[in-house]
Chain A
Amino acid sequence: MAGGGGRPLCGKQAAVISVGEGGRLHPEVPVLQTNNGPGLTGLITIAAHLVKQAKKDQLLGSTAEEKAVVQQWLEYRVTQVDGCSSKEDTRIILKNLNIHLEDKVYLAGNIFTLADVLMYYGLHHVMVDLTVQEKEKYLNVSRWFNHIQHYPGVRQHLSNVIFIKNRLYTNAH
């Protein structure tokens, strides 16, 4: 299994990540300033770069198919999850993820990938605010999220989101 060992994914990088660049539609987009080259812009781009630097390429998937699936969920994270601005958007995303995760351990199926890490970070603010009832409604998302937050090295500074083991609501499907 990839990514273990409890080390932060970008812990040893001699690089500066800054947020914000003039002239973009999304001023909060991160920029990685490395010692060589013009720097990299964008969450996926930087994360993928750091993963490769850390020689954890398996986090991006091994086969062409896995790589494309990881790419797809990374894109979903930055377009859909980051783009949502209303409760309704959030609800749709949770609903869709819940369907997708019905028969999968991780976003990309049976392998833990960068998509899980970034999706976890993208959804944390959503998950902490869910009621117990909503957590049960999006049961697959909750199961996945709880799994990822306990994955070594993932959670970092974020708070632990509590999930109740026993189901309390029966009509929340």
Chain B
Amino acid sequence: MRLRVAAGGPAALKVLAAAGAAAAPVRLVWGGPLGETAAAAAPLPGRDPLVPAPVIPTPRRGPPGLTGLLPPAEQPLAPLSPPWTPALELDSGTVLFSPNAICQFFFLARGEEPTDLTNQWLEWEATELQPAASAALYAQLVHGRKGLEAVEVLGKLLVHIELNLSRRGTAYLAGDTKSVADVVVWGTLFPVLQDETSLPSELQVLRTWFQSMTLSEACRKAADSVLMPKALLEFKSYLQKQPPPCLAMERATSNEPEEEEGSEPALTEEEITAAVDAWARGVAALPKPWQPQKPVLPVEGMRNVLITSALPYVNNVPHLGNIIGCVLSADTFARYCRLRNWNTLYVCGTDEYGTATETKAVEEGLTPQEICNKYNAIHTDIYRWFDISFDYFGRTTTPYQTMIAQDIFQRLLARGFLLQDTVEQLQCEDCQRFLADRFVEGTCPFCSYEEARGDQCDKCGKLINAVELKNPQCKLCRGVPVVKPTQHLFLDLPKLEEQLEPWLEQSWATGDWTANARYITRSWIRDGLKPRCITRDLKWGTPVPLDGFRDKVFYVWFDAPIGYLSITANYTDQWERWWKNPQQVELYNFMAKDNVPFHSVIFPCSLLGADDNYTLVNHLIATEYLNYEDGKFSKSRGVGVFGDMAKDTGIPADIWRFYLLYLRPEGQDSAFSWSDLMLKNNSELLNNLGNFINRAGMFVCKFFGGTVPDMVLTPDDKRLLARVTLELHQYHQLLEKVRIRDALRCILSISRHGNQYIQVNEPWKRIKGDEKDRQRAGTVTGVAVNMASMLAVMLQPYMPSVSLAIQGQLCIPPDCFVLSHNFTCTLPPGHRVGTVSPLFQKLEHDQIEALRKRFGGGQAKQTPPASVTLMAPGDPELIQELTEEVAKQGNHVRQLKANKAEKAQVDTEVAKLLELKKQLALAEGKSPEVLVPKGKRKK
């Protein structure tokens, strides 16, 4: 067995003395606090003995007589106890951390059983003597008290020993032979007293006992090895950093309620009374659900809410981050608004114009319109599967888009907010067009890479101005383009700024803008607004209706937000009642944070400049980013779950909705994780929410024949009603501020209250009891099933299908599907429920692991080739060597290309080059992934 003691630590004395006295075969490990910080963090010996702290074994001379000394590098022992406390590791692996138990063990091991008397001394030592001795030691070492003054605090305790010894007339504490009691008491007294002269002279018997103990071989040797001057100094400096020990009876007890995290606020009598009143009013207390006319149009005197989510770019399949960032967040809010009887219109659509669509069309051999049709259908399907409740999901390639965009343009032109300027651009004379950046390739002006794109070099990563490319080529006909000056139109943002700022101030004062939206907007304005080009030399876009510009289209950022208006126009010809009606309409824009400047600065400037009483954004709701497992979603690397794949996972849409909303990146980035998805499903949905709703319904079916029983509310029930009402109020407060993720916690909180309520009241037992018990079972069941009914409504914005399922199972009347601030009895006694069945399924570990593999999560750990794994990063010689090889191979490849070598040969040599670069990157300690040429990725 191994015994760890710290030299200088007071408790070391008794365990060493006991080991010596009982001749225990221990191996010693000398420990001490790990530097000053660790020591400061460690509590006083005797307190909190289980806190892990490292042990530094330092070889020192142990007392002779103890067997063996340990080599310094032995495994740390007793990770659960602080370094100043002794610890004994038994051969079985058990660790004793209490000094008295260690001493006891040594004596037990040689057959000395504890007696009532030794027990009593040990208990007295631990509870009475030890705290007092610690205080005395502290007074000596830290405050510098000496002699009798220092032992004053021990006064009564010393008398206690004196009296016991003299009354019994024995030489030792528990009889005429030395026992564990003597060693333990002596070991605690000795560091304080040092020798018997510090004892008051009248305690004669005690002095004699103490002297004989000190002179015994085991004790003397223990003292010599533990209480070395240097070790005592170490212990002193440790003690100085500790608060003084206080004796139990001196401790001030605080009765002040402490604010605990997660503690529930107290309920007032008024709240309880109000909750009970509301409950009793039943369905009558609820407003009638509002069914708007179709198409939905603003209604005088109602709150008219117009909701948009950022238009997804048509030829990207949205991933989970895109979905939570805009459409799902906006959908949840739109559903909430409808349940509040607010007159709500939610529109969205695909953003279809622009270079990327044209490029994609060339790639796939389709026309741009065909590409848009194809991808618009994919988007529509995905959002339908996610149960997104658009009033209308449209697209930007419509005649209304042209009409409205051109109208806004004309108004800006007429009011002098457009500027004209010359831009140098590449033109392909064969194709008869100016080449957008992505339609040009050439040699990089920085690194001479031959396949650089017009906007960026894939090799060196530098941004390029297309006119700077050497040997530019038209990507379509391989012809050589020429630099030509071309005229473009600019939106005069500096001139519009004086209108923008007062509007922003007013919108911020009255609306809910997320913090990131305000921040991003502020930094844009602070950096100074510059004129922004609104035209492009492209074909796929809204044509510019101005002579001299008719072969150009609008730049996508000018065009795209106008999509909100044109999509609404495709929904209803009375679209202007939404979009030119700021008096009656409140506009919410949902987006991810990268979209903020277009919605907060540029688009409002266009509308302010066009000056046609447009509805401008009142509430700009921007999310942060959602990451995938530990990294980013990446279509090209096949990492992450994309909208069209979610349904193939076998996990229902509502579970996806729940989990995405549960980790909605509100305020900070969050990360999707498969194991967390499983955990949340199994704990929050299955065990908490589903369990509660299912039990509430099952009790009605099983115990009351499917009819809600009579309820006689007790004070406990009334408190529960008030508690649930508080959560409901919180839910409203949060959702009114579009804090969707936080509001979801309120739902889960209510079902937790419900579970506790059922668990404490045990209706399944009471139903078998007497009349009173059965009535109680009825009340509990009735209240619980009404909570379930309200949860179904509160859940609807988050999990519409589950909500519908609960509505069906409990036969909740459609009139109850409305949200008020009251928790009322919507399923009164006599109400019949339907067939109740489980709402959620457990997700199994194997299933989740299979999905994780399939979607490439956690695949960051790519195993590099064996030949390079052994190299230590940062070896300068190796880096030098590899750098030279890379350069050599690079030249070789260029040579081959220049000589128009066969493609197969070039490819082989390029592969060699890439492999060398990877090795170089590894040798430099970088991730090799950055070197995969971007141009080779499938987009």
| A interface, CB within 8 angstroms of B | 23-26, 29, 40-45, 48-49, 64-65, 67-69, 71-72, 75-76, 78-80, 82-83, 85-87, 92, 96, 99-100, 109, 131-133, 162, 164, 166-170
Contact = CB atoms under 8 A, between A and B. Distances in A.
Contacts of B47: 80
Interface of B: 46-51, 80, 90, 92, 94, 96-98, 100-102, 104-105, 108-109, 114, 116, 119-120, 122-124, 126-128, 130-132, 156, 160, 247-249, 251, 253-254, 258, 260, 262-263, 679-680, 683-684, 687-688, 691, 752, 755-756, 759-760
B186 to A, nearest CB: 18
B248 A25 contact: yes
The dominant DSSP class at the B interface is helix
Contacts of A45: 116, 119-120, 123
Contacts of B102: 68
Among A26, A67, A75, max chain B CB count under 10 A is at A75
B254 to A, nearest CB: 7
B118 to A, nearest CB: 9
18 contacts: A24-B128, A40-B116, A45-B120, A68-B108, A69-B101, A71-B104, A78-B123, A79-B126, A82-B127, A83-B127, A87-B258, A96-B49, A96-B80, A100-B80, A133-B262, A168-B687, A168-B688, A170-B683
A79 B127 contact: yes
Contact of A99 (B80, B105, B679): B80
Contacts of B684: 170
- Nearest first, the 5 closest Cβ-Cβ pairs linking A and B are A72-B101, A68-B105, A96-B50, A64-B108, A42-B123
B50 A72 contact: no
B116 A78 contact: no
Given A45-B116, A68-B105, A132-B756, A26 B687 contact: no
Contact of B683 (A80, A83, A167): A167
Contacts of B156: 23
A65 B94 CA distance: 8
A24 B766 CA distance: 49
B248 A83 contact: yes
A64 B105 contact: yes
A115 B383 CA distance: 60
Given A45-B120, A76-B98, A87 B260 contact: yes
B50 to A, nearest CB: 4
A92 B262 CA distance: 18
Given A45-B120, A71-B104, A131-B262, A162 B50 contact: no
Contacts of A132: 752, 756
B430 to A, nearest CB: 63
A161 B249 CA distance: 30
B124 A41 contact: yes
Contact of A43 (B48, B105, B108, B123): B123
A109 B109 CA distance: 19
Which of A23, A45, A85, A168 counts the most chain B CB atoms within 10 A? Answer: A168
B165 to A, nearest CB: 14
Contacts of B116: 40, 45, 48-49
Nearest to A49: B116
Nearest to A76: B98
A71 B100 contact: yes
A96 B48 contact: yes
Given A23-B160, A41-B120, A42-B124, 20 more contacts: A23-B156, A25-B247, A25-B249, A26-B127, A44-B123, A49-B119, A64-B109, A69-B96, A75-B100, A79-B46, A79-B126, A82-B127, A92-B48, A96-B48, A100-B80, A164-B756, A166-B755, A168-B688, A169-B683, A169-B752
Given A78-B126, A167-B687, A72 B98 contact: yes
B659 to A, nearest CB: 12
Most chain B Cβ neighbours within 10 Å, of A64, A87, A162: A64
Contact of A65 (B50, B105, B132, B253): B105
A45 B122 CA distance: 9
B82 to A, nearest CB: 12
Contacts of A87: 258, 260
B132 A100 contact: no
Contacts of A167: 683, 687
A164 B759 contact: yes
B187 to A, nearest CB: 15
Given A23-B156, A65-B94, A69-B96, A100 B128 contact: no
Contact of A75 (B94, B98, B160, B752): B98
A86 to B, nearest CB: 7
A168 B683 contact: yes
A113 to B, nearest CB: 13
Count chain B CB atoms within 10 A of each CB in A43, A65, A109 and give the residue with the most: A65
